[in-house]
Structure 1
Amino acid sequence: MTGTLPLASAGLLEAAPDAIVAVTADGTIALVNAQTERLFGYARAELLGQSVELLVPEGMRAAHPEHRRRYLHDPRPRPMGGGAHLAARRKDGTEFPAEISLSSIETEAGLLVAAAVRDVTDRVRAEAKFRGLLESAPDAILGIVENGEIALVNAQAERLFGYARAELIGRPIEILVPDRVRGAHAALRRQYFGGPAHRPMGAGMQLSARRKDGTEFPVEISLSALETEEGTMVSAAVRDVTERLEMQAARERLKNQAERERLEARLQQSQRLESLGQLAGGVAHDFNNLLAVMLNYTTFLAEQVAEAAEDDPTGQWEQARKDIAQVLRAGERATELTHQLLAFGRREVVQPRVLTINAVVGEVEQLLLRTLGEHIRLHADLAPDLPPVLADPGQLEQVLVNLAVNARDAMPEGGTLSITTAERVLDDGAHPGLGPGRHVELRVADTGGGIPPEIAERVFEPFFTTKPKGQGTGLGLATVYGIVTQAGGAVTIASTPGAGTTVTVLLPATDEAPPPPSGDTAGTETRDSSGGETILVVEDEDALREVTERILNRHGYTVLTAADGPQAVKVAQDTPGPIDLLLTDVVMPHMLGTELAGRIAEIRPGTAVLYMSGYAQPVLASQGTLDAGVRLVDKPFSAPDLLARVREVLDER
């Protein structure tokens, strides 16, 4: 038989992309096409009439005739891709993987078996590479066909789920689904096969999977559809996220713990400062009484020494006068310190009013420039249309001056002090100690050397200072803390060594409108502090009561005295003449000053009341604010301060 065909058939044969080899029943090659020559490396003449085993690898030649006989017994077409991995042999002896389809052809000379041979080297390499990638993948890979059976499994899937590969192939995917959701999974699977779309890992769904031993674990799953010769296969990459979730939970616990520790530290600092404030307030109260006695008696002595120095200018009195002046200056400095202690301890009685922080900054700006010196630049960036706050303007000025002094000391070589204001709206719980709503922020920043964290934690404590001995009291920032917290605000400090320090003050805004600017008071006559009225002085400190009596007597007042409330009531009942003014301490044994004022009002209606105290906050004020109608002279007072206040209250009757 020759390898000839009708012209049309011969043309199709030569154009075929696969090698076509037709053999007789005994295995003799009867027909080949051009692609056979190219694929196997033989010329056509070298193949025709030869046994087909010539193209079969040597290791498979012995069994090949039996395979041929079996096919001839049932010569049905066998398409390419039947799943069997076959091989073929070239003229040079090299072998290559092949897919072979078989069909039978009836000819006049008898039955021919036609084999279409395709070189699948590239595909086998790609599949090998794919299998390598599949096996080395860090995630478990499962291939699921449309009926839900597992068709593909990699090594990581065996490790993750605890099944051997043979235990999974052909089983429904639902064996890897937790029992509680297994019933609904089939419907979800069918829905996905109906419109498969890529679903990346971590698509936001919290999923779980089930191992062979029944344990469940959290997973992320990515899905993608693969088109195969057998139909659509869904590839599911499964990742165990147990460790990640545990790490996330651990980070969240650490974050919450850090936040609790931060809040606890701030609370402990606040409690510590509160305790120090109570101690400072108590000390200041007793010290103010002593200072009032010392300063006023020293003033009496200074007057006498001054007169003696005038009469004897060449004697020793002039030096004594200078010495006494030094004592008075020291007493005035001590008075300032007691006021700072009271401000820190929030025991200072304040007289707040509605104001704008920008106005306070503007009023104190020239003073700040003088305080800072020429080597420091002052830069103010004040936000327009700030809401007003309710605060004591004098105390806010003190806050600005204290912060400016601290900043100046931090910039000995020069630098910039920046003062900025802004409106801030706080959410509930955004800042410990402050409620939600509108607040006004005041920030004072310097370009100095900064403060280490361990020091920044203590800067608001009284008497804590890093300045050399004799150059600081350690009360500047403590005073700032007390003033701001007493006004219902909060103060924080942020500093980085080498990058400067920023102090931030937050004060709650008020809906009240600030009053119009006051008119010019220049030319107002100075009021005479003398008078002939009768004043009842009530003070439990003997020395202070005596010096107060002496001051008032020297200026023409009639003075009645009492050591406590019950004694003062008796004096008021027994005195036949009028009592124009009750001048009373606030904190006394047996009866507080406010109780005494109420009793006197019953006995002698119309008697004016003037309180004197260096620690009046617990009984006279609400949140440290002087109640309306209450008149107070602060201890330690000088004679001019006392006389002016007495005259003012008497003239208001």
Structure 2
Amino acid sequence: MSELSDAMLIGLLEAAPDSIIVVGADGRIALVNAQTVRLFEYAQDELIGQPIEILVPENARSTHPTHRRGYWADPRPRPMGAGTPLTGRRKNGNEFPAEISLSSVNAGPDTFVIAAVRDVSDRLRVEAKFRGLLEAAPDAIVGAAADGSIALVNAQTERLFGYRRDELIGQKIEVLVPEDVRARHPDLRHRYFADPRPRPMGAGSPLRARRKDGSEFPAEVSLSALETEDGVIVSAAIRDVTERVEAQAQRLRLEAEAQRLVAAAERERLEAQLHQSRRLESLGQLAGGVAHDFNNLLAVMLNYTSFVTEQVQEAAAADPDSHWTQAATDLQQVLRAGTRATELTHQLLTFGRREVVRPQVLDLNGVIREVEQLLRRALGEHIQLHVELDEDLCPVLADPGQIEQILMNLAVNARDAMPDGGTLTIHTTNHRVTTPTDAASRPAPPPGRYVRVRVADTGTGIPTEVLDRVFEPFFTTKEAGKGTGLGLATVYGIITQAGGFVTINTAPGAGTAFITLFPVTDETPAVLEKPAPAPAQQHGRATVLVVEDEEALREVTKRILTRNEYQVLTAGNGPEAIKVAEDFPHHIDLLLTDVIMPFMNGRELAEQITATRPGLRVAYMSGYAEPFVIGDDALDRDTVLITKPFTRAELLSRIGEVLNQG
């Protein structure tokens, strides 16, 4: 058993990774293992019997813990050199850092000291490299033990927090945290040590840290846990993100300012657009009012001139060589001028959205095909017309005559912009507006489905300085006498009256494109039909009640009807007409009433009289259509409206239509 024990001891001794040296009480080496031979580079027989000081540098022998006077004075086990390594000396004189563990063994009367020596050169190199990296780190590195005391700091920590290293070592980590944060999160450190996994903190919303002088700064912190011989140490890499936070704040301020400027620009644009719409609306109201009064005057002038013309023509026919022939010719010029004035008032009414319209469910492609040949003749041979139609076009609700008028006006405008020739393109397609506004449209269309009609020329374009005025009535860039300034105003009025929107894309020298959007309807398109011939005029003793507040027009209307064998009753306003109808004992066949009158409008008058005289037929007269007559700016198909100024033939024809209805 003793031999086995000795063999086991020798085996353990030789297998030990550290150098094992047994020293007797006299300070001489009694036994070494193979690792000692490798570490100190002595042969075994060179060490046995030598004083232990042979393995210690000369300048450290008197203080070395293995010195017989040092350890034998207090022969208890102890590790040495863990904090500050001791120094060992090899045979060749080279020295190395070492850690030594000492213990004593009694062998009979003798006591031996056993020294386990470990070369820590590699460890110190790693530690030196770690310290170099630690000190070179751009972030503050702080290591804390489980009790929260700071065990490790680097140079950046001193610079960032304003503490010296010796002031932080041993302090609680909370010294670097503002007091209000400590109060809100008293268990923050304990929660982290309970789950010491790596984690970044403060990346989205920076944390706050506190310097020695009490000032605070925004910080990002990355935590990690290190296993050491002394237990778990939590290391925190702390980065001052003041510059980044300030840059972000500046960026947010700049973004807010940019948004404010964009909003201001958008507000200014919308205000300008609203101002433009209101200006056009005001001009439209003015034009409608002027046209209404002017149409009354024109109706009187044209019809009385017509009466005189008939008489003069009879006299001229009886005596061709008399002055009556020239007078008849002069009166024809007056009538032509009156007709031209009538056309101008209709254009004004269209711009002001006061024109009478009879909307139908249309396929715009059909309207364009109907007017295509007329457009080619209007453009002339020097301008090419290209028509590109979407065969799956959705239907819209509009007056086909007014759509033709839009196309003709735009074609004439394009022709004038291409005196040397060019190309006019008409293109249709379905279009969906998905955003609430369209900066270019007048006004902005709401989201929805539309039919888009683009009429584009290759002409001279519209100058930027006049672009905002092109829809104004009487505004024109043409020479005096070559344009009325009502063509585009008429286009604008028709489009807006139909619930549509218009955009102009143009640049000087690059042509002009008018883009219109008409709302899609879910109704079935109507088949375009040629107007039927007017029914035969009603003659005989039919009785007509004429209600007109303009005396001259009332009298000329009465004269036309009387001369054509109608019995005529007249009234200057609604209440007077009601009194006439109540007092007249016989049948009244037709109520012919103006729309706009004092005291009572035409529709209200018609409702009251037809309530007491069922079966009474009604026809309206007006210089312009009002929404309360036509309902949303569109005539009901059963409503008869005679547009002022009317001629004798037009008046008799329309009255004949009403009286001849089955």
C-alpha spacing 1:606/1:378, structure 2 compared with 1 (3 Å): same
TM-superposed deviation, 1:308:
5.3
Pair 1:506-2:517 in alignment: yes
Q: Is there any run of 5+ residues in structure 2 with no aligned partner, and where?
A: 1-16, 18-26, 28-35, 42-53, 72-76, 86-94, 104-111
RMSD, aligned CA: 5.5
Deviates more, 1:239-248 or 1:372-381: 372-381
- Given that 2:288 and 2:348 are in contact with CA atoms closer than 8 Å, whether structure 1 keeps it comes out as yes
Cα separation, 2, equivalents of 1:418 and 1:153: 77
- When Rg is computed on C-alpha atoms for both structures, the one with the higher figure is 2
* Paired amino acid for 2:544: I
Pair 1:464-2:471 in alignment: no
% same residue: 45
Q: 2:607 aligned to 598, 613, 619, which one?
A: 598
Residue 134 of structure 1 corresponds to: 138
TM-superposed deviation, 1:497:
5.2
- Given that 1:587 and 1:616 are in contact with CA atoms closer than 8 Å, whether structure 2 keeps it comes out as no
C-alpha spacing 1:636/1:102, structure 2 compared with 1 (3 Å): same
C-alpha spacing 1:104/1:148, structure 2 compared with 1 (3 Å): closer
Give the secondary structure class of the aligned counterpart of 2:377: helix
Cα separation, 2, equivalents of 1:395 and 1:142: 83
Pair 1:378-2:382 in alignment: no
TM-superposed deviation, 1:634:
0.6
C-alpha spacing 1:244/1:295, structure 2 compared with 1 (3 Å): same
Residue 452 of structure 2 corresponds to: 442
Cα separation, 1, equivalents of 2:378 and 2:145: 84
TM-score by length of structure 2 reads 0.69
Q: 1:531 aligned to 532, 539, 542, which one?
A: 539
Pair 1:485-2:493 in alignment: no
TM-superposed deviation, 1:70:
12
* Paired amino acid for 1:398: Q
TM-superposed deviation, 1:647:
0.6
Matching of residues 14-93 of structure 1 within 5 Å: 78=81
- Superposed CA offset, 1:42-84 (max 9, x none): xxxxxxx9x989xxxxxxx9xx9999899999995657xx8x9
Matching of residues 548-627 of structure 1 within 5 Å: 548-575=557-584, 577-602=586-611, 604-627=613-636
Give the secondary structure class of the aligned counterpart of 2:138: helix
Q: Is there any run of 5+ residues in structure 1 with no aligned partner, and where?
A: 1-12, 14-24, 26-30, 37-48, 54-60, 86-97
C-alpha spacing 1:571/1:495, structure 2 compared with 1 (3 Å): same
TM-superposed deviation, 1:605:
3.6
Cα separation, 1, equivalents of 2:195 and 2:536: 98
- Given that 1:389 and 1:507 are in contact with CA atoms closer than 8 Å, whether structure 2 keeps it comes out as yes
Pair 1:637-2:641 in alignment: no
TM-superposed deviation, 1:635:
0.8
Deviates more, 1:419-428 or 1:171-180: 171-180
- Superposed CA offset, 1:172-193 (max 9, x none): 4654985786458558856985
* Paired amino acid for 2:339: E
TM-superposed deviation, 1:604:
4.0
C-alpha spacing 1:445/1:564, structure 2 compared with 1 (3 Å): closer
C-alpha spacing 1:629/1:232, structure 2 compared with 1 (3 Å): same
- Superposed CA offset, 1:114-162 (max 9, x none): 8765799999899879977827xxxx99899998888668879978x99
C-alpha spacing 1:390/1:416, structure 2 compared with 1 (3 Å): closer
Give the secondary structure class of the aligned counterpart of 2:427: strand
TM-superposed deviation, 1:335:
1.9
- Given that 1:222 and 1:236 are in contact with CA atoms closer than 8 Å, whether structure 2 keeps it comes out as yes
- Given that 1:99 and 1:118 are in contact with CA atoms closer than 8 Å, whether structure 2 keeps it comes out as no
Pair 1:363-2:390 in alignment: no
Residue 109 of structure 2 corresponds to: none
Residue 12 of structure 2 corresponds to: none
Cα separation, 2, equivalents of 1:141 and 1:321: 112
C-alpha spacing 1:292/1:519, structure 2 compared with 1 (3 Å): closer
- Given that 1:539 and 1:584 are in contact with CA atoms closer than 8 Å, whether structure 2 keeps it comes out as yes
Give the secondary structure class of the aligned counterpart of 2:620: strand
Cα separation, 2, equivalents of 1:376 and 1:142: 83
Residue 10 of structure 2 corresponds to: none
- Given that 2:538 and 2:655 are in contact with CA atoms closer than 8 Å, whether structure 1 keeps it comes out as no
Residue 652 of structure 1 corresponds to: 661
TM-superposed deviation, 1:444:
1.9
C-alpha spacing 1:235/1:360, structure 2 compared with 1 (3 Å): farther
Give the secondary structure class of the aligned counterpart of 2:649: helix
Residue 414 of structure 1 corresponds to: 422
Cα separation, 1, equivalents of 2:358 and 2:149: 83
TM-superposed deviation, 1:650:
0.7
Residue 39 of structure 1 corresponds to: none
* Paired amino acid for 1:420: T
Give the secondary structure class of the aligned counterpart of 1:279: helix
Cα separation, 2, equivalents of 1:631 and 1:149: 99
Cα separation, 2, equivalents of 1:519 and 1:486: 23
Residue 57 of structure 1 corresponds to: none
- Given that 2:80 and 2:101 are in contact with CA atoms closer than 8 Å, whether structure 1 keeps it comes out as yes
TM-superposed deviation, 1:287:
0.9
Q: 1:248 aligned to 255, 261, 269, which one?
A: 255
TM-superposed deviation, 1:257:
3.4
Cα separation, 1, equivalents of 2:158 and 2:484: 72
- Superposed CA offset, 1:213-238 (max 9, x none): 99999x79585869899977454555
C-alpha spacing 1:261/1:118, structure 2 compared with 1 (3 Å): same
TM-superposed deviation, 1:642:
1.3
C-alpha spacing 1:391/1:445, structure 2 compared with 1 (3 Å): closer
Cα separation, 2, equivalents of 1:262 and 1:444: 24
* Paired amino acid for 1:134: P
- Given that 2:144 and 2:233 are in contact with CA atoms closer than 8 Å, whether structure 1 keeps it comes out as no
TM-superposed deviation, 1:283:
1.1
- Given that 2:208 and 2:216 are in contact with CA atoms closer than 8 Å, whether structure 1 keeps it comes out as yes
TM-superposed deviation, 1:312:
6.0
Give the secondary structure class of the aligned counterpart of 2:425: strand
* Paired amino acid for 2:644: K
* Paired amino acid for 1:484: I
